[in-house]
């Protein structure tokens, strides 16, 4: 199945002079139900293109387990079918959960001083990937939670819960059984929230929102980190 080109040749706008740039939410959402108005669609595309990393909290109180781990981020594009204006964001695609502690064998182990041997921590990934097609599309227009500081879209596939989250990533409580796509920007998700609110006002009728996820060629099964949370090894499936 062919899928759209996701490089920077799309005529992107990502600067403070753009009407779509917003450091915070721009007031209330205007909702109209006039059937004479055309209902537009906001499209969110999560690509397979890796663009960086971000440190996420692990939410473990144990002094032995790293408080943060480094995870990859991917390119995400937001647009709508009226303005065709596009914005680029970074988003995580993997949800890692602590599995076990390992100890590397080395010279300290040879001398019987195992307590000095370097320790690594294995975090298992619960990935969410399209199963049959190169792109899978979901309608998320009816499921969202919005306040001044965060926006969360929720949808389900079979028995799995999925959340697209924008806000302060340090306040997000990760739960097993849920896959998370966490939007990362320089202002704790507020640029994305402002973008969505502005589009909703501009499109007048509350728009439909679709999420497209492009299948990756390689998916990390787990990551192995040192005590400081720095990724030492990525295990792929």
13 — pLDDT class (breaks 50, 70, 90): very low
pTM of the complete model: 0.75
Residue 221 and residue 129: Cα distance in Å, rounded?
12
Asked whether residue 177 carries a pLDDT value surpassing 70, the answer given is yes
108 — pLDDT class (breaks 50, 70, 90): very low
Q: For residue 220, give both structure tokens.
A: 């990390």
Residue 42 and residue 19: Cα distance in Å, rounded?
16
- Is 20:77 a contact under the CB 8 Å cutoff? no
60 — pLDDT class (breaks 50, 70, 90): low
44 — pLDDT class (breaks 50, 70, 90): very high
Give the pLDDT mean for 35-62: 83
Tens digit of pLDDT for each residue in 116-162?
456 788 888 888 888 888 999 988 866 688 887 899 998 877 777 88
Residue 237 and residue 217: Cα distance in Å, rounded?
10
State the chain's mean pLDDT as an integer.
Answer: 77
226 — pLDDT class (breaks 50, 70, 90): confident
């Amino acid at each position: 199945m062919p899928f759209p080109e996701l490089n920077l040749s799309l005529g992107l706008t990502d600067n403070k002079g753009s009407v779509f740039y917003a450091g915070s939410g721009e007031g209330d959402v205007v909702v109209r139900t006039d059937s004479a108005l055309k209902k537009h669609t906001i499209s969110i595309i999560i690509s397979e293109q890796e663009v960086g990393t971000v440190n996420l909290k692990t939410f473990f109180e144990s002094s032995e387990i790293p408080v943060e781990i480094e995870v990859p981020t991917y390119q995400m594009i937001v647009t709508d079918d009226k303005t065709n204006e596009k914005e680029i964001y970074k988003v995580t695609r993997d949800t890692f959960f602590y599995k076990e502690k390992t100890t590397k064998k080395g010279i300290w182990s040879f001398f019987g001083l195992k307590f000095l041997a370097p320790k690594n921590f294995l975090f298992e990934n619960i990935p969410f990937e399209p199963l049959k097609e190169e792109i899978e599309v979901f309608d998320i227009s009816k499921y969202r939670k919005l306040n001044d500081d965060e926006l969360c879209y929720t949808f389900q596939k079979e028995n799995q819960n999925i959340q697209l989250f924008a806000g302060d990533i340090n306040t997000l409580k990760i739960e097993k059984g849920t896959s998370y796509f966490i939007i990362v920007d320089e202002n704790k998700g507020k640029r994305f929230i402002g973008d969505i609110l502005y589009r909703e006002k501009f499109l007048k009728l509350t728009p439909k929102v679709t999420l497209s996820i492009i299948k990756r060629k390689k998916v990390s099964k787990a990551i192995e980190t040192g005590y400081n949370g720095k990724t030492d090894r990525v295990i792929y499936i």
